[in-house]
Amino acid sequence: MWHGFYKKELSIRRKLIKDYQKKDIPIPVVLPELNADQMIENYLFNYHLPLGVALHFEINDSPYVIPMAIEEPSVIAAASNGAKLLGNIESRIVNRHLIGQIIVMQVTLDRAKELLKLYRSQWLNYAREVSRDIVSYGGGPLDLYIKEDQGTDCVCFCLSFDPVDAMGANSINSCLETLAPQIVEACQGKLLTAILSNYSPDSYVDVSASIPINRLSKDSMKARNIAQAIVELSDYAQVDVYRAVTHNKGIMNGVDAVLMATGNDWRAVEAGVHAFASRSGCYRGLSQWVLKENQSELKGTMRIPLQVATVGGSLSSHPQAQWSLALLGHPRAKELAEIIAAVGLAQNFAALRALVTDGIQKGHMPLQARSLAMQAGAVGSEVGLLSQQLVQENNYQLSRAKELLDKIRYSSDNISED
């Protein structure tokens, strides 16, 4: 069904997605100005990003077509190719809890521990009472504990909180601000702040995939060399921060694009992910690839925190986000996190494979040529003609693109005069 999807006319691509969903695509899917004006302050107009689909994904033995909103060429193609080669990707979420902080000054740690032991049940019951709506959906406050920090006179009371399918920021912040005065009064201290953290190191997704190395090349020796190079490049991202940052950026290309398409807070996820990558005290690559004992399979694993939502917030009033969630089969938040983690691993595999074979530019620049053609001023059929010539010349300089565009137009003028 998806063979040669990228080569087909736009109308055909839309029809294939329509047939896949068994319902019409609401084109154009526009964010109404009335909605947008309520979402942010000082609203002027909408800023658009292209939305496409990544194909060939099989996650936990189920097929998916993945919506991705991104401006960078080659990302969607790479994700699709990575997914096609990897086959089934296993993804499992471990917890989905937010952490809220009530930070109190002018109280000793020992005194705070005594008070927590005495009032913990009472404070938790109160927190659940003020979070009745989300408690009714099976979520809300779970535990209250003290996080011991070195080098500070403050005491941090931490509230773990299950947001169910919502992002949960407003729910937990309201709970924290309501609970904080009770804790501060008992401590006879002073409140520094009460707010959620975007770092939840005990809530993450474990994702993995294995690929027979003979899929990497028809030449068995070349396939083995590619697999070994992927392993070595992956290992290098565990010891070199420069490589680790770019390694993880490749993962986030896929992760962020799905977050954007589904209306999720990609900034919060990015912050949490990069903190997680630094949890050992050094910034490391999130994924790791190894050759299995039989040396015939390459296995990739990744652990990544993904605080995502499928209800509430701006995504409930954003028609593109609603369409994207429908394309994914209206997943719960936990399933969406598993999907996004799988996309990140496929994106990472595709990037590493490109780096150790033809280099990242060979696949990237032909796709970039269309953007360069438009930068040069090409319109309509000129875009295809110009990008084709840039690829043939293997020249991706804007100055050369403008020269070639002038020649195309000069040739076209001569033909029309004849």
Q: 308: domain CATH number? A: 3.90.770.10
The amino acid at 6: Y
Determine the pLDDT at residue 294. Answer: 80
Sheet containing strand 287-291, strands side by side = 62-69, 51-59, 88-94, 204-212, 297-304, 287-291
Q: What is the pLDDT of residue 347?
A: 98
| Residue 323 belongs to a domain | yes
Give the residue-averaged pLDDT of 34-48.
90
Which of 89-93, 111-115, 291-295, 349-353 bottoms out in mean pLDDT, i.e. has the lowest? 291-295
Which has the closest alpha carbon to 353: 211, 242, 245?
A: 211
- Structural domain includes residue 45: no
87, with CB counted inside 10 A (0-12, 13-18, 19+), is: middle
Rounded Cα distance, 97 and 333, in Å: 12
Q: Say yes or no: 70 and 105 in one domain.
A: no
pLDDT tens, residue by residue, 239-279: 999 999 999 999 999 999 999 999 999 999 999 999 999 99
Domain end call among 151, 179, 197: 197
Give the rounded percent of residues in the chain with a pLDDT score beyond 90.
71
Q: State the helix-helix crossing angle for 360-375 and 75-86, rounded to 10 degrees.
A: 150
Write down the pLDDT at residue 374.
85
Residue 238 clears pLDDT 90, i.e. is over it: yes
> How far, in Å, are 14, 122, 154, 222 from residue 99 at the CA level?
41, 19, 17, 47
Read off the pLDDT of each residue in 225-247 and give the average, rounded to a whole number: 97
In this structure, is residue 16 part of a structural domain?
no
How far is Cα 41 from Cα 44, in angstroms, rounded to an integer?
A: 9
Which residues form the catalytic set? 72, 249, 265, 364
Higher pLDDT, residue 376 or 1: 376
Cα–Cα distance, 193 to 178 (Å, whole number): 12
1 inside domain: no
Output the pLDDT for position 281. Answer: 95
Residues in the chain: 418
Q: Indicate whether 3 belongs to any domain.
A: no
Question: What is the span of the domain harbouring residue 393?
Answer: 363-414
Question: Average pLDDT, stretch 383-401?
Answer: 86
Q: Assess whether 273 and 314 both reside in one domain.
A: yes
* Opening angle at CA 346, ends 341 and 352, nearest 5: 125
| The model's pTM | 0.88
- In the predicted structure, residue 80 carries a pLDDT above the cut 70: yes
pLDDT at 213: 95
Give the mean model confidence (pLDDT) for residues 5-33.
84
pLDDT digit string, tens, across residues 48-65: 899 999 999 999 999 999
Q: What residue ranges in 134-273 does DSSP mark as E strands?
A: 140-147, 155-162, 190-197, 204-212
Q: Are residues 223 and 287 in the same domain?
A: yes
CATH number, residue 183: 3.30.70.420
Q: 141 and 214 in one domain?
A: no
- One domain for residues 329 and 212: yes
- Look up residue 192 and give its two tokens: 């520094």
CB contact set of 246 (below 8 Å; sequence gap of 6+)? none
Stretch among 34-48, 214-228, 277-291, 297-311 having the lowest mean pLDDT: 34-48
Predicted pLDDT of residue 189: 96
Per-residue pLDDT of 184-196, as tens digits, reads 999 999 999 999 9
User: Total structural domains in the chain?
Assistant: 3
pLDDT at residue 336 in the model? 98
Identify any residues that bridge with 287 across adjacent strands, giving them in sequence order.
Answer: 302
How many Cα neighbours within 13 Å face the side chain of 366?
7
Instruction: Point out the domain boundary residue: 144, 175, 197.
Output: 197
| Nearest in space to 172 (alpha carbons), one of 142, 203, 202 | 142
- The Cα 123–Cα 119 span in angstroms is 6
- Do residues 185 and 294 share a domain? no
Question: How far is residue 1's CA from residue 13's CA, in Å, rounded to a whole number?
Answer: 11
State whether 302 and 383 are in the same domain.
no
CA distance 112 to 185: 12
Looking at the DSSP bridge assignments, the partners of residue 196 are: 100
CB count within 10 Å of CB 258 equals 29
Helices (H) and strands (E) counted in the chain, each on its own, are 14, 10
- Any domain includes 38: no
Residue 221 φ/ψ region, left for φ over 0, alpha for ψ in the -120 to 50 degree band, beta for the rest: alpha
- Higher per-residue confidence, 217 vs 367: 217
Q: Is the pLDDT of residue 401 over 60?
A: yes
Answer yes or no: do 185 and 212 share one domain.
no
Q: Do both 77 and 187 map to the same domain?
A: no
Cα separation, 260 vs 258, whole angstroms: 5
Reported as a pLDDT band with limits 50, 70 and 90, residue 303 is very high
Query: What's the mean per-residue pLDDT of the chain?
Result: 92
